[in-house]
């Protein structure tokens, strides 16, 4: 098995000005290709220190992957330092000069001598083309069984070059022998620990692996399998996915790129039904989630942001007496908001949220994090309480909107079951 | 000057399962304390490789900062490997045993032998207390002019331990001699390159430094100054901030934690004015931005999400003929939406958005990214066109909401000027 080593170059990394997301991306990529990685280093734009890092890496790894230090300014030194480390002269690549000149011409700007610096490569090195920016990288074997590749630090450029050129190169040379495929199952309405108990010893499985993740109220299970081909890997995943879905039941709302909003949208579209929203503490966040889905105009009509109590009365017809006796944060008001928006828009379903997002406004009886979701639809009109706790305004608002979508999702599924 | 080196331990980092945000945090901290950092390494939970990394770091740095590998499981090896590297026996720390036992008792759980592992430290090392979790770290000088500190990989625990114990330790020993303070000025309505041209050679300034950042339509200038005390650093920043604000003019909307929504809110609150919104393509995102600000109930009344054209007519009173002749994405409809929501809510200002968010729905005449912002208020009612281009649905929606807020911000400021 070949062993890779990552070398991230840039003083801005050492100063913490930049988060090194490139290292994570490349680590994941290497793991998915079946290439080991034992060490990763970060070093500044300093030729002496960079050279020491290169020498050490070339003594213990087969594939050295550099990011950063390919720019046009004098402090970008990666190419020069690599050439110097292996005592190889730099040559100007005519094709790269022409390419950079063309890119500048397209943008109507003047190429400078600094830019010509980006056309230099050690003698014998191949260019690793950059279809997105001006700085190409290189692929070079300076000594037997050692290959090095350089990439710009800009993540979009690095990723494109990695996928377009580096991965095919590694596969063609049999350095990359494996494929990792994965599926992420998404759950709402169950805690990570409760789900973990149900899933039990599947977390000990080695191929496929199952790993839990949780954030902002959502729990995810990532199933990953390693195999010689993607089809084989996916075939290993399928029975485990089915098993986990049956364990998760209705709490499992989807997989991979699904969102609660997209799943609710699919359920509505399948029945030819529509939805409108009435929002207080989320202030439009529920509508924004629903309309983040491309094509949502097929089932989402609109709604009312009823932040002020007077708007709840004027635009949604909430009863002033109910507001006064139950308070704006109550099951009765949530229900009337949902009914009101459904009536006024003519939608199949009205979905509402009213709650205390905090940090101000909580009382002993109605603390921060108390939220009511209202649902109005065929044969149903009610308000459901949730207690999310005082975990920050942003958190309460986000989890409220997701919980409203999940509330409707469960009802839509139950109704589909009853109808079928 | 003392030189630090970061050593991140964990196979999960090498596999890319985790983004190494600890390295960025600690890099920033070291820079702000005036401690240099020339190298950073990541290595897996492997004692031989970890030992090599430790030996190298101890030969070239004074302060070795470890994160990760302090957990209770057998693959957590940082403490053991450090002791082994410096040929020092491990001893059990009675105070830590008592502390871990107490934490388990509080949670009503049974302590295991694995947990006792976390009470081990090399003879002569001091405990670096962990007030948040069970894994303490250590501070130890295994040889002259070398100090090493260990932290758990969990960011919240690491940060708390760093601030509570490590920083005071470094200051008391005069290793940390400097303070970096910074201010970030925020701009909307000007491109990074246009602002850079105006700011000119200030980017070459070394103390304070000025650095530009841009994302999602916003441009930021970060001013950072190094000095012996925070007050001195801030005093160095103040005149430069004033200068940059005068260069930026009205494009500079705020600093640090300000948002366009919070700034608009302050302008409204100052005049005792209120706002309501009417949203089409943003689907509630503008309302969500405004209500993300705590205390927004003082000036934000609510609004209408008019996604479907029929809702624009039914809930906002947009003229069916205007819709038919101009189309939903037009200055006339934007204006009528703003007027409609202002009338229906009784707010001082009505702010509306209608546009083509994409990816579907664009035409040659009305391409993806064409957006109209409507403003209705005292002596004003109009629709303003924006062309954001086809840069993704999420981008168009986000930039649309920000541009609407900025449009109102400029009018509120102009009006304040006219009134004063």
Question: What confidence tens digit (pLDDT) does each residue in A132-161 have?
Answer: 877 899 999 999 999 999 999 989 899 999
User: Which of A291, A306, A308 shows the shortest C-beta gap to B307?
Assistant: A291
User: Which of A20, A307, A393 shows the shortest C-beta gap to B302?
Assistant: A307
User: Which of A53, A284, A301 shows the shortest C-beta gap to B285?
Assistant: A284
Q: What is the number of alpha carbons within 13 Å of residue B180 lying toward its C-beta? A: 20
pLDDT along chain B (420 residues), means of 10: 94 92 96 93 96 98 96 87 98 90 79 82 95 89 96 93 96 89 94 84 87 86 90 95 96 97 98 98 98 97 97 98 98 98 98 96 95 97 95 94 98 81
Name the token pair of B78.
């940082």
SS3 content of chain B, % helix, strand, coil (to 5): 45, 25, 30
Taking an 8 Å cut-off on Cβ atoms, the answer to whether B292 and A311 are in contact is: no
User: Which of A17, A27, A296 shows the shortest C-beta gap to B14?
Assistant: A27
| pLDDT above 80 (res A110) | no
> What's phi and psi for A409, nearest 5 deg?
-55, -45
- Among A206, A212, A291, most B C-beta atoms within 10 A, so best to mutate, is A291
Is any Cβ of chain B less than 8 angstroms from the Cβ of A303?
yes
Taking an 8 Å cut-off on Cβ atoms, the answer to whether A301 and B294 are in contact is: no
- Among B31, B307, B317, most A C-beta atoms within 10 A, so best to mutate, is B307
Tell me, what DSSP letter sits at residue B297?
Answer: G
- Among A21, A305, A316, A343, most B C-beta atoms within 10 A, so best to mutate, is A305
CA B310 to the chain's CA centroid: 39
Cβ–Cβ pairs < 8 A, chains A and B: 223
For residue A220, count CB atoms less than 10 angstroms from its CB and return exposed for 0-12, middle for 13-18, buried for 19 or more: middle
Name the token pair of B148.
């090493």
Taking an 8 Å cut-off on Cβ atoms, the answer to whether B28 and A44 are in contact is: no
> What's phi and psi for B348, nearest 5 deg?
-65, -40
Is any Cβ of chain A less than 8 angstroms from the Cβ of B28?
yes
Q: Tell me the nearest-neighbour CA distance from A359 into chain B, angstroms.
A: 7
User: Which of A56, A282, A301 shows the shortest C-beta gap to B307?
Assistant: A301
- Among B24, B46, B305, most A C-beta atoms within 10 A, so best to mutate, is B305
Residue A109 region by backbone torsions, left for phi larger than 0, else alpha for psi between -120 and 50, else beta: beta
Distance CA B385, CA B374 (A): 9
pLDDT at B419 (0 to 100): 56
Give yes or no for a contact between B338 and B357, defined as CB atoms under 8 angstroms apart.
no
**Which chain B residues touch A313 with a CB distance below 8 Å?**
none
Taking an 8 Å cut-off on Cβ atoms, the answer to whether B42 and A40 are in contact is: yes
- Select the more confidently predicted residue: A417 or A8: A8
What are the C-alpha distances in Å from A153 to residues A22, A38, A75, B27, B62?
8, 21, 14, 18, 29
Biggest distance spanned by C-alpha atoms of chain B:
86
Find the residue in A nearest to B304 (Cα).
Answer: A304
Taking an 8 Å cut-off on Cβ atoms, the answer to whether B345 and A315 are in contact is: yes
- In terms of Cα–Cα distance, which of B14, B26, B32, B11 is closest to B63? B26
User: Cβ atoms within 10 A of the Cβ of A183, count?
Assistant: 18
Distance CA B316, CA B326 (A): 17
Distance CA A49, CA B308 (A): 61
Distance CA B39, CA B302 (A): 53
| pLDDT above 70 (res A35) | yes
> What's phi and psi for A19, nearest 5 deg?
-85, 130
What are the C-alpha distances in Å from B323 to residues A211, A321, B361?
51, 38, 16
- β-sheet with A179-188: strand ranges across: A209-215, A218-227, A179-188, A252-255
pLDDT at A99 (0 to 100): 85
Stretch 31-60 of chain B: residues touching chain A, C-beta under 8 Å = 31, 37-44, 46, 49, 53, 56
pLDDT at A135 (0 to 100): 84
pLDDT at A419 (0 to 100): 56
Taking an 8 Å cut-off on Cβ atoms, the answer to whether A24 and B19 are in contact is: yes
SS3 content of chain A, % helix, strand, coil (to 5): 45, 25, 30
Distance CA B181, CA B178 (A): 10
pLDDT at B398 (0 to 100): 97
Name the token pair of A216.
């902002």
Angle of helix A331-345 versus helix B309-316 axis, rounded to 10 = 110
pTM, two decimal places: 0.82
Distance CA B99, CA B93 (A): 10
Tell me the sheet residues that pair with A218.
Answer: A188, A215
CA A273 to the chain's CA centroid: 30
Distance CA B72, CA B134 (A): 9
Taking an 8 Å cut-off on Cβ atoms, the answer to whether A27 and B15 are in contact is: yes
Give yes or no for a contact between B135 and B96, defined as CB atoms under 8 angstroms apart.
no
Residue B233 CB partners (closer than 8 Å, separation 6+): B179, B180, B181, B225, B226, B227
Distance CA A270, CA A324 (A): 40
Angle of helix A47-60 versus helix A78-85 axis, rounded to 10 = 60
Q: What is the dihedral of CA B255, B257, B260, B261, to 10 degrees?
A: -150
Taking an 8 Å cut-off on Cβ atoms, the answer to whether A40 and B38 are in contact is: no
Find the residue in A nearest to B18 (Cα).
Answer: A24
User: Cβ atoms within 10 A of the Cβ of B263, count?
Assistant: 20
Is any Cβ of chain A less than 8 angstroms from the Cβ of B307?
yes
Distance CA B256, CA B129 (A): 32
Is any Cβ of chain B less than 8 angstroms from the Cβ of A296?
yes
Q: Tell me the nearest-neighbour CA distance from A74 into chain B, angstroms.
A: 14
Taking an 8 Å cut-off on Cβ atoms, the answer to whether B304 and A303 are in contact is: yes
- Give the strand pairing for B275-279 and B349-355: parallel
> What's phi and psi for B37, nearest 5 deg?
-140, 115
pLDDT at B178 (0 to 100): 86
Residue A282 parent element (H or E): none
Give yes or no for a contact between B320 and B333, defined as CB atoms under 8 angstroms apart.
no
User: Which of B39, B285, B394 shows the shortest C-beta gap to A41?
Assistant: B39
Give yes or no for a contact between A274 and A348, defined as CB atoms under 8 angstroms apart.
yes
- In terms of Cα–Cα distance, which of B249, B254, B252, B248 is closest to B199? B248
Taking an 8 Å cut-off on Cβ atoms, the answer to whether A292 and B397 are in contact is: yes
Is any Cβ of chain A less than 8 angstroms from the Cβ of B193?
no
Taking an 8 Å cut-off on Cβ atoms, the answer to whether A287 and B283 are in contact is: yes
Distance CA A123, CA A88 (A): 6
Taking an 8 Å cut-off on Cβ atoms, the answer to whether A49 and B26 are in contact is: no
Q: Tell me the nearest-neighbour CA distance from B40 into chain A, angstroms.
A: 5
Taking an 8 Å cut-off on Cβ atoms, the answer to whether B23 and A20 are in contact is: yes
ipTM, interface predicted TM-score of the complex: 0.81
Is any Cβ of chain B less than 8 angstroms from the Cβ of A170?
no
**Which chain A residues touch B16 with a CB distance below 8 Å?**
23-31
In order, the DSSP letters of B240-269 are HHHHHHHHHGGGEEEETT--HHHHHHHHHH
**Which chain B residues touch A345 with a CB distance below 8 Å?**
308, 311, 314-315
Distance CA B373, CA B278 (A): 10
Stretch 372-411 of chain B: residues touching chain A, C-beta under 8 Å = 393-394, 397
Q: What is the number of alpha carbons within 13 Å of residue B361 lying toward its C-beta? A: 22
**Which chain A residues touch B281 with a CB distance below 8 Å?**
291
Distance CA B154, CA B389 (A): 41
Give yes or no for a contact between A136 and A127, defined as CB atoms under 8 angstroms apart.
yes
**CA end-to-end span of chain B:** 54
Is any Cβ of chain B less than 8 angstroms from the Cβ of A15?
yes
Name the token pair of A370.
């108390």
Give yes or no for a contact between B169 and B163, defined as CB atoms under 8 angstroms apart.
no
Q: Tell me the nearest-neighbour CA distance from A120 into chain B, angstroms.
A: 26
- In terms of Cα–Cα distance, which of B305, B298, B315 is closest to B401? B305
Name the token pair of B329.
């994405």
pLDDT at B108 (0 to 100): 76
Distance CA B136, CA B119 (A): 8
Helix (H, G, I), strand (E, B) or coil at B65: strand
- Among B10, B12, B14, B63, most A C-beta atoms within 10 A, so best to mutate, is B14
CA B407 to the chain's CA centroid: 24
Q: What is the pLDDT of residues B104-154, one digit of tens each?
A: 887 777 777 777 888 999 999 999 999 887 789 999 999 999 999 999 998
Is any Cβ of chain A less than 8 angstroms from the Cβ of B23?
yes
Q: What is the number of alpha carbons within 13 Å of residue A170 lying toward its C-beta? A: 30
Give yes or no for a contact between B121 and B90, defined as CB atoms under 8 angstroms apart.
yes
Residue B190 CB partners (closer than 8 Å, separation 6+): B219, B248, B251
Is any Cβ of chain A less than 8 angstroms from the Cβ of B26?
yes
Is any Cβ of chain B less than 8 angstroms from the Cβ of A14?
yes
Distance CA A332, CA A326 (A): 7
In order, the DSSP letters of A181-197 are EEEEEEEESS-HHHHHH
Distance CA A35, CA A176 (A): 6
Tell me, what DSSP letter sits at residue B204?
Answer: G
- Select the more confidently predicted residue: A336 or A201: A336
Give yes or no for a contact between B222 and B213, defined as CB atoms under 8 angstroms apart.
yes
Distance CA A348, CA B297 (A): 30
Q: What is the pLDDT of residues A205-240, one digit of tens each?
A: 888 989 888 888 899 998 999 898 889 999 999 999
Distance CA A202, CA A75 (A): 50
């Amino acid at each position: 098995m070949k062993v890779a080593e990552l070398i991230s170059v840039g003083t801005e990394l050492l100063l913490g000005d930049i988060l090194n997301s490139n290292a994570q991306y490349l680590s994941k990529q290497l793991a998915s290709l079946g290439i080991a990685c034992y060490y990763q280093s970060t070093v500044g734009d300093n030729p002496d220190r960079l050279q020491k890092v290169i020498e050490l890496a070339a003594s213990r790894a087969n594939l050295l992957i550099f990011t950063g230090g390919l720019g046009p300014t004098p402090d970008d030194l990666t190419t020069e330092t690599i050439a110097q480390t292996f005592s190889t002269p730099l040559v100007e690549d005519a094709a790269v000069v022409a390419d950079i000149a063309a890119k500048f011409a397209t943008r109507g700007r003047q190429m400078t001598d600094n830019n010509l610096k980006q056309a230099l490569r050690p003698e014998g090195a191949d260019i690793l083309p950059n279809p997105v920016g001006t700085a190409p990288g290189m692929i070079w074997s300076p000594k037997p069984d050692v290959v090095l590749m350089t990439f710009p630090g800009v993540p979009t450029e690095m990723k494109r070059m990695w996928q377009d050129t580096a991965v095919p190169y590694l596969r063609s040379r049999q350095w990359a022998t494996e494929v990792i495929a994965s599926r992420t199952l998404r759950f709402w309405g169950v805690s990570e620990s409760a789900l973990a108990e149900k899933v039990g010893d599947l977390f000990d499985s080695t191929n496929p692996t199952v790993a839990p993740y949780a954030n902002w109220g959502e729990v995810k299970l990532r199933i990953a399998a390693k195999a010689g081909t993607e089809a084989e890997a996916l075939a290993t995943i399928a029975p485990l996915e089915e098993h986990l879905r049956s364990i998760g039941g209705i709490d499992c709302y989807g997989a991979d790129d699904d969102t609660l909003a997209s799943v609710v949208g699919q359920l509505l579209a399948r029945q030819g039904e529509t939805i409108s929203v009435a929002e207080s503490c989320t202030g439009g966040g529920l509508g924004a989630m629903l309309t983040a889905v491309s094509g949502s105009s097929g089932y989402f009509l609109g709604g009312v942001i009823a932040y002020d109590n007077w708007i709840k009365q004027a635009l949604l017809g909430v009863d002033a007496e109910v507001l006064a006796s139950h308070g704006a944060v109550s099951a009765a008001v949530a229900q009337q908001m949902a009914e009101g928006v459904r009536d006024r828009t003519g939608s199949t379903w009205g979905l509402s949220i009213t709650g205390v997002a905090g940090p101000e406004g909580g009382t002993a009886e109605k603390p921060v994090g108390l939220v009511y979701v209202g649902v109005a639809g065929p044969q149903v009109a009610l308000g459901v309480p949730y207690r999310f706790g005082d975990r920050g305004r942003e958190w309460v608002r986000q989890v409220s909107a997701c919980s409203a979508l999940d509330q409707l999702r469960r009802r839509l599924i139950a109704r589909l079951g009853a109808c079928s």
